[in-house]
């Protein structure tokens, strides 16, 4: 008797599936077979994570069949105690089935994007079936029906897999290439030997190159993306283009993340709109993170500038992500065949384009006639011989923050920690504090941690060496560093170099502006030691011993985004020392001041309408004023379209939704906030993280949504998942 255990899960905050129909069809298929008495079907519904071990221990099945949702690299979707989605990682599933490798011979994952879990489980289980992309309900049911009907007539797992794919084709459903099978060795549904040449590890489709096409939905970007999509598909590659590939009803954030995980190449169509797009920047960030974390360095990023000259500025993050990567230009349709052939040739060889030296960039002009960037440009950044541009007329002071910082930075051993969600003006404030320090005769050195190579974040010795290089180079004292960098204790080497070669040799204080320090938070290999070192410098200035005079010359301005807290299991900042500056939103008077600088003559009613919509969020306010100045929209249109796909904030809103999709508990907590008119009690971790993202305001653990824009958008989109 072969036991088939069917585990089903359709959490409340996911799209509803026809799981009962699937089980019914499997049972009916086996009932019609000659060997039906040799199979026993056991079903378990609404399976929770805690149910997995006891169910498998109780039933010791031969075949485990999972029906439900998959989340690509994030795992399979089961339920938690309240019926909401809880993702189970590939690693955890592989570990589970390792414990049952003596009993289970086949695992069938009938869930979208489950190929990654299939690969992981296949380390321990001979036969595993998964899906390499989204699969529709009908195709999933037909595939399962064909598979089990074949098993019931004494076919091998390989043959059963092929019967399932063929049944999809017979129904004229274009999804037979979605299922994949992983086979270790000749394995049969029936328990008898077969010839080894009959069984091969197969997939319903041959291995293809997968290309993610990132583009803006505007002309000519959209048309060019479509041409690439068609050419790549015709050449036998698997291309993903959001407008073509995402089906109605799919959860697009999950699909975007899954496709990025699967991609071999990331084709980036860069236009002037891409340079200020939050979603494009987020997609490139994720692609680069994947590339840097993998031995094969995939996906390979292929940027093409679309009517966007090479010397036109990108936002700071995007420029950093694309540093030293070859870029091509598209100026007219005449360029399309040449670029297309180059890409197809590259894909056919599997080569990576050689790295190039990045050209000097034109600093982005900060003026009312330029769109505000979603990422701050470090205003102290300069090429050798350049000047420090702090002349922007759009900077709005938020008293008493600036004067408090100026007063603190002249104190011996000062440490100012500026924190806020993204786009609140942290880097701009740091630039002004460093500029004030220079006016006092201090030496100011800005250090952006984004410039550190990804590999440095896993090796404390290399990281601290890089850190000292940044300081030594700016102070023209780099030639002695290697003499100090001997021995094993990395922190001692760093401290000794700074004491003897830097602090003892300078007469005036040194101010280090450490920007994007949040990049260090996730890397526990270096984070604890580095922040402990920074804390020790701050404390050394207060000891009153021989070294205190040296370390009192060191002043620090540390800048980090609070959004970095979200992936971590914390309910407070991992680095609490010195004077803390939490940037607030603009108040109505400050919004009116900024509107006047944009040339808009506004009264109190117009200011109130904008503040109600976006709060005083500096970036969202500036984005509105920029489009109103250009007369792209009227204020009435902006207010009505803002939370929709046609609104000017759609990139910003989608970025938040994409991030929330990775954390179902946070998404559900925010949903509870937006559907209620009164403050909502949240657990401390959810409250802390949603506030860190800038989505809610807190009074204790009572949360209220930050602005009407967020309430309208997330009420609709998070509600859709319920």
Rounded-to-integer distance, Cα 238 and Cα 533, Å: 48
d(CA 416, CA 430): 9
The set of residues, in sequence order, having a beta carbon less than 8 Å from that of 248 and lying 6+ positions away, is none
CATH number at residue 154: 3.40.50.1460
Task: Say if residues 157 and 187 touch (Cβ distance below 8 Å).
Answer: yes
What would you report as the CA-atom Rg of the chain, rounded to the nearest whole angstrom? 29
Paired tokens of 582: 């939490």
Q: Which DSSP category does 50 fall into?
A: G
pLDDT value for 204: 35
The tens digit of pLDDT for each residue in 348-395 reads 888 788 767 655 455 555 667 676 766 555 544 332 222 234 666 788
Q: Are 269 and 641 in contact (CB under 8 A)?
A: no
Regarding whether 511 and 602 lie in a shared domain, the answer is: no
128, 107 in Cβ contact below 8 A? yes
Q: Are residues 289 and 159 in the same domain?
A: no
Q: What is the DSSP letter of 310?
A: T
Q: Are residues 175 and 302 in the same domain?
A: no
Question: How far is the C-alpha of 579 from the C-alpha of 433, rounded, in Å?
Answer: 13
- For residue 123, what are its two tokens? 């380390």
Pairwise CA distance, residues 238 & 233, whole Å: 6
Number of domains in the chain: 4
Higher pLDDT among residues 89 and 356, named by residue: 89
171 and 25 in a common domain: yes
Q: Are residues 408 and 557 in the same domain?
A: yes
Burial of 678 (0-12, 13-18, 19+ CB in 10 A): exposed
> Quick check: is 215 in a domain?
yes
Range of the domain at 259: 210-349
User: Do 11 and 159 fall into the same domain?
Assistant: yes
Note the residue count of the chain. 722
User: Is 369 a member of any domain?
Assistant: no
Question: Is residue 520 one of the residues assigned to a domain?
Answer: yes
Question: What mean pLDDT do residues 491-517 have?
Answer: 94
Mean pLDDT of 167-171: 92
Strand 265-270 with 210-214, pairing: parallel
Query: What are the residue ranges of helices labelled H in 298-395?
Result: 316-321, 336-349
- Can you read off the two tokens belonging to residue 331? 């100026």
Residues 25 and 67 in one domain: yes
Distance of CA 53 to the CA centre of its chain: 31
pLDDT at 164: 95
How far from each other are the two terminal CA atoms of the chain, in whole angstroms? 40
On the question of a cis peptide bond just before residue 162, with omega within 30 degrees of 0, the verdict is: no
572 and 595 housed in the same domain:
no
Say if 194 falls within a structural domain: yes
Identify whether 377 is part of a domain.
no
In a domain, 374, yes or no: no
Q: Residues 310, 356: contact at Cβ < 8 Å?
A: no
Which has the closest alpha carbon to 652: 375, 321, 344, 322?
A: 375
Q: 97: which 2 tokens?
A: 């089935």
Is the per-residue pLDDT at 433 higher than 60? yes
Give dist(CA 305, CA 402) in Å, integer.
Answer: 39
Residues 446 and 553 both lie in one domain: yes
453 pLDDT band, cuts 50/70/90, is confident
Which residues, in sequence order, are bridge partners of residue 5? Answer: 42, 64
Retrieve residue 146's tokens: 């064909």
Q: Residue 195: what pLDDT? A: 30
Structure tokens at 116: 């990654």
The encoded tokens of residue 354 equal 């050689």
Name residue 304's beta-bridge partners. Answer: 269, 328
> Are 237 and 123 within one domain?
no
Peptide bond into 220 cis (omega under 30): yes
What confidence tier does 633 reach under pLDDT thresholds 50, 70, 90? very high
- Interatomic CA distance for residues 422 and 282, integer angstroms: 13
Say yes or no: 186 and 223 in one domain. no
Give the domain-ending residue among 145, 165, 198: 198
Strand partners, 559: 418
Q: What percent of the chain has pLDDT over 70?
A: 88
71 alpha carbon, distance to own chain's centre? 14
- 75-84, 197-206, 387-396, 635-644: lowest mean pLDDT where? 197-206
| Mean pLDDT across 120-135 | 91
pLDDT digits (tens, 9 = 90+) for 548-605: 789 999 999 999 888 776 565 555 555 678 999 999 999 999 999 999 999 999 999 9
Beta bridge partners of 8: 67
Q: What is the mean pLDDT of residues 628-648?
A: 93
CB 391 within 8 A of CB 397: no
Q: Is the pLDDT of residue 533 over 90?
A: yes
User: From CA 177, how far away is CA 238, in angstroms rounded?
Assistant: 11
Please, which residues have CB within 8 angstroms of residue 244's CB and are 6 or more apart in sequence? 226, 229
Comparing 484 with 371, the larger pLDDT belongs to 484
Rounded to 10°, the helix 604-614/618-630 angle is: 130
Residues 35 and 88 grouped into a single domain: yes
Provide the mean pLDDT of the chain.
85
Write down which residue in 562, 582, 602 finishes a domain. Answer: 582
- 164-173, 199-208, 253-262, range with greatest mean pLDDT: 164-173
The answer to whether residue 394 sits within a structural domain is no
CATH of the domain at 236: 3.40.50.10140
Q: Of 74-78, 153-157, 290-294, 596-600, where does mean pLDDT reach its minimum? A: 290-294
Residues whose CB falls within 8 Å of the CB of residue 441, separated by 6 or more in sequence, listed in order: 508
Domain boundary among 529, 550, 582: 582
**Within a domain: residue 368?**
no
With pLDDT > 90 as the criterion, what percentage of the chain qualifies?
51
Which residue has 């010397």 as its token pair? 311
The enclosing domain of 422 has a CATH number of 3.40.50.300
**Residue 415, preceding bond cis, omega within 30 degrees?**
no
pLDDT tens, residue by residue, 405-426: 999 999 999 999 999 998 898 9
């Amino acid at each position: 008797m072969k036991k088939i255990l069917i585990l089903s899960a359709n959490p409340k905050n996911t799209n509803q599936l026809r799981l009962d129909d699937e089980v019914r069809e499997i049972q009916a298929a086996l009932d019609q077979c000659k060997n039906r008495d040799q199979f026993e079907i056991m079903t378990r519904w609404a399976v929770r994570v805690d149910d997995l071990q006891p169910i498998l221990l109780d039933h010791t099945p031969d075949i485990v069949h999972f029906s439900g949702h998959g989340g690509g690299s994030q795992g399979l979707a089961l339920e938690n105690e309240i019926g909401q989605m809880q993702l189970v990682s590939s690693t955890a599933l592989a570990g589970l089935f390792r414990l049952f490798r003596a009993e289970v011979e086949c695992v069938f994952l009938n869930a979208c994007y489950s190929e990654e879990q299939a690969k992981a489980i296949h380390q321990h289980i001979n036969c595993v079936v998964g899906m390499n992309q989204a699969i529709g309900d009908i195709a999933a049911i037909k595939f399962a029906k064909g598979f089990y009907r074949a098993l019931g007539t004494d076919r091998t797992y390989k043959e059963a897999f092929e019967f399932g794919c063929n049944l999809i084709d017979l129904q004229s459903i274009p999804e037979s290439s979605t299922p994949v099978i992983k086979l270790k060795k000749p394995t049969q549904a029936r328990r008898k030997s077969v010839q080894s040449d009959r069984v091969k590890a197969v997939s319903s489709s041959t291995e293809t190159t997968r290309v993610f096409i990132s583009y803006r939905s505007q002309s000519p970007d959209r048309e060019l993306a479509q041409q690439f999509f068609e050419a790549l598909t015709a050449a036998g590659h698997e291309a993903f283009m959001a407008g073509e590939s995402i089906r109605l009803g799919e959860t697009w954030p999950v699909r975007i993340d899954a496709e990025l995980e699967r991609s071999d190449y990331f084709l980036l169509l860069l236009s002037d709109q891409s340079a200020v797009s939050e979603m494009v920047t987020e997609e490139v960030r994720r692609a680069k993170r994947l590339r840097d974390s993998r031995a094969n360095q995939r996906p390979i990023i292929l940027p093409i500038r679309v009517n966007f000259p090479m010397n036109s500025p990108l936002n700071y993050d995007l420029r950093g992500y694309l540093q030293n990567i070859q870029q091509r230009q598209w100026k007219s349709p005449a360029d399309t065949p040449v670029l297309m052939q180059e890409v197809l040739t590259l894909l056919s060889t599997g080569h990576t384009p050689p790295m190039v030296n990045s050209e000097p960039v034109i600093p982005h002009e900060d003026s009312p006639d330029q769109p505000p960037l979603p990422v701050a440009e470090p205003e102290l950044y300069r090429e050798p011989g350049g000047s420090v541009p702090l002349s922007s007329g759009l900077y709005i002071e938020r008293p008493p923050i600036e004067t408090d910082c100026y007063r603190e930075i002249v104190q011996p051993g000062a440490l100012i920690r500026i924190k806020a969600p993204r786009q609140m003006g942290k880097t701009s404030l740091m630039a002004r504090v460093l500029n004030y320090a220079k006016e006092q005769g201090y030496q100011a050195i800005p250090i952006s941690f984004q410039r550190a190579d990804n590999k440095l974040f896993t090796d404390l010795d290399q990281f601290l060496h890089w850190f000292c290089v940044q300081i030594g180079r700016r102070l023209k004292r780099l030639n002695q560093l290697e003499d100090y960098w001997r021995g094993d204790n990395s922190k001692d080497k760093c401290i000794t170099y700074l004491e003897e070669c830097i602090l003892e040799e300078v007469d005036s204080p040194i101010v280090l502006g450490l920007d994007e320090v949040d990049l260090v938070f996730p890397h526990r290999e270096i984070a604890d030691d580095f922040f402990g070192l920074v804390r020790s410098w701050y404390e050394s200035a207060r000891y009153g011993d021989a070294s205190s005079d040296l370390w009192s010359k060191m002043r620090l301005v540390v800048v980090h985004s609070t959004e970095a807290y979200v992936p971590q299991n914390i309910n407070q900042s991992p680095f609490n020392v010195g004077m803390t500056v939490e940037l607030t939103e603009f108040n109505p008077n400050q919004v009116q001041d900024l509107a006047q600088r944009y040339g808009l003559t506004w009264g109190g009613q117009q200011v109130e309408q904008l503040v109600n919509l976006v709060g005083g969020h500096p970036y969202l306010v500036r984005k509105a004023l920029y489009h109103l100045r250009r007369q792209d929209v009227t204020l009435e249109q902006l207010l009505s379209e803002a939370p929709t796909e046609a609104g000017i904030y759609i990139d910003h809103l989608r970025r938040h939704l994409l991030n929330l999709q990775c954390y179902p508990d946070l998404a559900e907590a925010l949903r509870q906030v937006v559907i209620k008119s009164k403050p909502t009690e949240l657990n401390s971790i959810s409250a802390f993280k949603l506030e860190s993202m800038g989505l809610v305001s807190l009074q204790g653990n009572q949360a209220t949504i930050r602005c009407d824009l967020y309430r309208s958008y997330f009420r609709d989109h998070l509600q859709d998942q319920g």
